[in-house]
Amino acid sequence: MSEAVRAEEFHTERDKLEQDRAMLNERLQALNVDREATVRQLAMVAGALQTIEGFLDRINPEISLPPDENHGPGPDEEK
C-alpha cells in the first residue's frame, strides 16, 4: 500500500511541476514580448536622437578652425 501512495505522490508532484512549467513558459513569452517592444523603442529613440543631431548641425554648425601653425601638430595629427 505504501508503494501506491508513493506513486500517487509522484504523479501529484509531476502535475504540479508541469503546471509550474506552463506558467513559467507563459511568463517568459510575455517577457520576450516586452523585451522586443523595448528594443523597438530603443531603436526609435536612437533614430530620433540622430534626427535631432542632424537638425542641430544644420541650425548651429560647429566651426572648423584651421590648426594653429605655431604650436605644431596635435596628438592626433601627423607630424
Flag whether pLDDT at 4 surpasses 90.
no
Domain coverage including residue 54 = 1-60
Question: Is 54 inside a domain boundary?
Answer: yes
Name every residue whose Cβ is closer than 8 Å to that of residue 38 and which is 6 or more positions away in sequence: none
For 69, phi and psi rounded to 5 degrees? -70, -15
Confidence of residue 62 (pLDDT cuts 50, 70, 90): confident
Number of folded domains that form the chain: 1
Question: Is 71 inside a domain boundary?
Answer: no
Flag whether pLDDT at 73 surpasses 80.
no
Question: Is 73 inside a domain boundary?
Answer: no
Question: Is 76 inside a domain boundary?
Answer: no
Residues in the chain: 79
pLDDT (0 to 100) of residue 61:
78
Confidence of residue 79 (pLDDT cuts 50, 70, 90): low
Q: What does the alpha-carbon distance between residue 6 and residue 54 come to, in Å, rounded to a whole number?
A: 71
- Does residue 52 contact residue 46 with C-beta atoms inside 8 Å? no
Nearest Cα neighbor of 10 from 23, 18, 21 is 18
